[in-house]
Amino acid sequence: GAVVSQHPSWVICKSGTSVKIECRSLDFQATTMFWYRQFPKQSLMLMATSNEGSKATYEQGVEKDKFLINHASLTLSTLTVTSAHPEDSSFYICSARAEQGHNGYTFGSGTRLTVV
Amino acid sequence: GQNIDQPTEMTATEGAIVQINCTYQTSGFNGLFWYQQHAGEAPTFLSYNVLDGLEEKGRFSSFLSRSKGYSYLLLKELQMKDSASYLCAVRVYNAGNMLTFGGGTRLMVKP
């Protein structure tokens, strides 16, 4: 089945530094990638929708200059958290549509970001 | 926007049946999904409904009433491993057909 590989699975960084999270679709072309953030004991909150070759669409309240999304190819989307702060510590998950179908949404394994 | 409500927590006994409800208010409805998520892991797909009625898949069933903006996930013969969060998500017709998730229901299965 469709697989999305997400790396790293966890990362600890210092305040003020930047962290890049990668999501790769291994056996399909992901024209659209969704990026979610999940705080402890909360649900997934959509941050942005990225489309290959075009600018990402950010949800209200998400700073596009802080969360940089690049979707330069059909198999790779990246999320860079710039100038990270402790409040950015969260679980970040990507999701891609593998096909036109009801169960076509495949999730990455998630990245646990801790900013110290 | 979309408004999706589900209970925060539920507790049930091993071997029993539990029903997790989800109500939604949205425009451009294009399907409702249920996902299971264990702590620290990505969500895994359980079921999908776009037409009214019941979809059964093994121990899991999901029901949808579009006129009522209502869905439920039914788990039968509960097992300890079913302890997890269950997320209701609605898809709408817009750019990219994105999913909007409810707050999730944390289910605890007790012996």
Q: How many Cβ atoms are within 10 Å of A103's Cβ, its own excluded?
A: 14
Q: Is B95 on the interface with A (CB under 8 A)?
A: yes
pLDDT of residue A100: 60
Q: DSSP letter for A15, please.
A: T
Q: How confident is the model at residue A54 (pLDDT cuts 50, 70, 90)?
A: confident
Q: DSSP letter for B58, please.
A: T
Q: Is B16 on the interface with A (CB under 8 A)?
A: no
What is the Cα–Cα distance from A19 to A51, expressed in whole angstroms?
Answer: 21
Residue of A nearest to B6 (CA): A43
What are B46's two structure tokens? 């359980």
Q: What is the pLDDT of residues B16-37, one digit of tens each?
A: 999 999 999 988 888 999 999 9
CA distances (Å), A100 to each of A1, A5, A9, A104, B96, in order?
Answer: 14, 20, 28, 6, 11
What is the Cα–Cα distance from A79 to A99, expressed in whole angstroms?
Answer: 22
Chain B CB contacts of A43 under 8 Å are 85, 87, 101-104
Chain A CB contacts of B106 under 8 Å are 41
What are B62's two structure tokens? 């999901």
pLDDT of residue B96: 64
**Between B31, B42, B44, which is nearest A102 by CB?**
B31
Indicate whether A102 pLDDT > 80: no
Indicate whether A14 pLDDT > 70: yes
Chain A CB contacts of B42 under 8 Å are 6, 93, 107-110
| Residue with the larger pLDDT of the pair A101 and A15 | A15
Indicate whether B95 pLDDT > 70: no
